[in-house]
Chain A
Amino acid sequence: MPLTANLLVFGRLLRSLGLDISGAHMTDAVEALLLVGLARRDDVRYALRALWVRRRDELPVFDAAFDAFWQDHGERWGRRDLRAIGEPRTGISIQIETVLPELDEAAGAADADDSERPLPEGEVQTWSAVEALRDRDLADMTPAELAQARAVLESLTWDPGEKRTRRWAAGAGPRIDLRRAWRQSLTTGEMVTLPTRARTTRRRPIVLFADVSGSMERYSRMLLHFAHVLTRANHKVEAFVFSTRLTRITLDLRTRRIDDAVTAAARRVPDWSGGTRIGDALRTFHVRWARYVLGRGAVVLMVSDGWDRGDPQELAQQVARLQRSCHRLIWLSPLLGTADYRPLTRGLVAALPYVDDFLPVRTLRNLEDLASHLNRLPPRRAPRRQAVAARAAIMPS
């Protein structure tokens, strides 16, 4: 049956574009198309879309693929067509390229550069070697040293603490578990002990903002490594980089191999080493991502030297909002900790009143200290004085 055959090929195309389509989804599609009929092209589109798409960001991919495929189905659709689907959207072009060798039957074997590349030596060699490394400026590290530093970071615990949820479960706690008490009493005949219930807890997510503008360029690569380590260690990490614009790199970092992750993240960022507009970047974050990412008592790490070209008032407002919507806002600067540094840049002066901790990230030792700081975060919010800070800065209300 040509329809089934075409559906199979179309499903395969979508799978190669990253959609998760199982065999069961194929049979569902046949069943759905029998109901909907083939008279109207859009009905077919909507039916298949309802069945196969699972996220909003898959919608444009699906629609583009549908248009490309069902226009000249039966014809050859080669490399060029597929590229045309991916090109206008930066997000999927990368996936398409990695998928192409599989689709292109002439290519046969996988490309040479797709084979396992050995990672740079990441073992921690000796105690003294690490000691010497600890106080070196992260920006000056050679790739080999970076790999060593990375191994140290991986050995640390990155646990920002737990948030008490509203769920109750059996356990030692303040509430009596009536249901269990009642059931026990029926088997034993009496209420001997009262079983209790306690609130469950859940690990706090970490949200990382890394400044990759020109002034932070020397640290960018290290920052991506740091973000990758965090992602691997603590499954709830959201990572964003910004200079003039904000880019989410969370999903890129979930890749296991660091080189792939860093490359993918780097390719996604349109304005690497540009100017800095922290206020604008945060505004985008608040509008597009905050609701999605910050809901669950997150700990926010903002890595930036605070050299900001934007409007300081806007910056102050956005940082204040960020602090209000998270459990703890930690600002990390690579300049802090150098001999005679004073946080006097306009950006930092505007932002610091709304920051819970202001810590250095210039050396590996700083990062180790950050880890232990995170592991010891108090369960309650730090006292904040936003109103006082706002009055002092004479912010417009």
Chain B
Amino acid sequence: MSTEPLVRSIDDVQARLAAEGYVADRALATSIYLAVSLRRPLFLEGEAGVGKTAVARALASVLGTELIRLQCYEGLDVSHAVYEWDYARQLLELRILEAAHAVDRAAARQELFSETYLIKRPLLRALEGKPGKPPVLLIDEIDRADEEFEGYLLELLSEFRVTIPELGTIAAAEPPIVILTSNRTREVHDALKRRCLYQWIEYPTFEKELAIVERRVPQADEALSRQVTAVVQELRTAELYKTPGVSETLDWVSALVALDRHELDPATIEETLGVVLKAREDIEAMKGERLTGLLSRAMLHGVRKSG
């Protein structure tokens, strides 16, 4: 065990994340502090595009450790998440041994199932952290994986060890810092959540989002950033099929910068609305009068906030 703690306090977490360009509120900073100190998995839930994945990335740079990412999808299984044997190389090696008439069954078996022929996937790599340097393991969009996979994960997260039948048990010398994210397309099982710290991430407030935009797209005019942020904030209050996230705000500002625009007007919004709204119905609904209404409300909002 290292003597120097990885993070010293909530303020420490908050300040160091800010230095990495991630604006975290007190609640999130508290959760991260506890996740690192207690070495408990952190379960981040929130709508798509609120910056869940970015937390892991920022935390890894704060701690100066590796970020290992496992993107979940339907059908994800152990061979893609934990490890797989490199069959092609094993067969090749066997052929070579055969050609040299050097096949001793027991020895070959030992040789072929050694670490050399093991393809390590993210979960296994996450167990290889050196003492004092735990990697950050990001298990992204766990809600997309099958329920069976959750069961496996639950076991892994409580023991931090993996058993490979041919090789034996691999245990982590330094357990990783685990961050799970979910977009809530289904309810993740309670048993898994019970092991985790829970943090719901809301869409950022106007000030927070503006700060993010200014940090990430510094080349944009301040007025433009302010306008775009205000319009997106306004869009989020409308009933949409697909509410724009922070990444959409950033994309939109970048797109407008690329188009050399310095101000939002109804025509510009109509041309570029596809960057922010991704459902046809939403774009249709936001044309014409509703758009001008939205824009004027947003302007008012932005001005009031700035004043």
Contacts and interface: CB of A to CB of B under 8 A. Distances in A.
A36 B10 contact: yes
B186 A295 contact: yes
A28 B197 CA distance: 11
Contacts of A36: 10, 30, 33-34
A50 B32 CA distance: 10
A172 interface: no
B90 A54 contact: no
A203 interface: no
B75 A35 contact: no
Contacts of A186: 105, 109, 112
A22 B42 CA distance: 18
Contact of A43 (B30, B90, B112): B30
Contacts of B33: 35-36
A313 to B, nearest CB: 12
Interface string A372-387: 0000000000000000
Contacts of B85: 179, 182
Given A28-B38, A46-B27, A287 B240 contact: yes
Contacts of A286: 241
B77 A168 contact: yes
Interface in B73-94: 73-75, 77, 79, 84-85, 87, 90-91
Interface string B100-118: 0000010001001000000
Contacts of A20: 190, 194
Contact of A59 (B77, B194, B200): B200
Interface string B35-66: 00110101001000000000000000000000
B162 to A, nearest CB: 16
Interface residues of B, number: 44
A283 interface: yes
B199 interface: yes
A182 B87 contact: yes
A32 B42 CA distance: 14
A317 B200 CA distance: 32
Nearest to B79: A179
Contacts of B26: 42-43, 46
B188 to A, nearest CB: 9
B285 to A, nearest CB: 11
Interface string B172-210: 000000000001111100100110011110000000000
Nearest to B146: A167
Interface in A142-165: 165
A253 to B, nearest CB: 16
Interface residues on A, range: 35 or more
A324 B291 CA distance: 27
Interface string A48-71: 011101111001000000000000
B280 to A, nearest CB: 9
Contacts of A56: 45, 184, 200
Given A35-B34, A47-B30, A291 B77 contact: no
A391 interface: no
A291 B144 CA distance: 12
A63 B40 CA distance: 22
B289 interface: no
Nearest to B197: A50
Contact of A46 (B31, B42, B105): B31
A127 interface: no
Contacts, number: 97
Nearest to A53: B198
B239 interface: yes
Nearest to A295: B185
B260 interface: no
Contacts of A168: 75, 77
Contact of A167 (B34, B148, B193, B198): B148
A198 to B, nearest CB: 13
B109 A165 contact: no
A260 to B, nearest CB: 22
A294 to B, nearest CB: 9
B278 to A, nearest CB: 13
Nearest to B90: A182
B38 A32 contact: yes
A31 interface: yes
Interface string B241-267: 100000000000000000000000000
Given A165-B75, A166-B75, A296-B186, A283 B37 contact: no
B30 A166 contact: no
Interface string B1-41: 00000000010000000000000001100110110011010
A311 to B, nearest CB: 14
Interface in B214-261: 239-241
Contact of B30 (A46, A54, A59, A183): A46
22 contacts: A22-B194, A35-B34, A43-B26, A46-B27, A50-B30, A51-B34, A51-B197, A54-B194, A55-B198, A56-B45, A56-B200, A165-B75, A165-B146, A166-B75, A167-B77, A167-B148, A178-B87, A189-B105, A287-B240, A291-B185, A292-B187, A317-B281
Given A43-B30, A179-B79, A292-B187, 17 more contacts: A35-B34, A35-B37, A36-B34, A43-B10, A49-B27, A51-B197, A54-B194, A56-B45, A56-B200, A59-B200, A167-B148, A182-B91, A186-B109, A189-B105, A287-B240, A295-B186, A296-B186
Interface of B: 10, 26-27, 30-31, 33-34, 37-38, 40, 42, 45, 73-75, 77, 79, 84-85, 87, 90-91, 105, 109, 112, 146, 148, 166, 183-187, 190, 193-194, 197-200, 239-241, 281
4 smallest A-B Cβ distances: which pairs? Answer: A166-B75, A46-B30, A50-B197, A50-B31
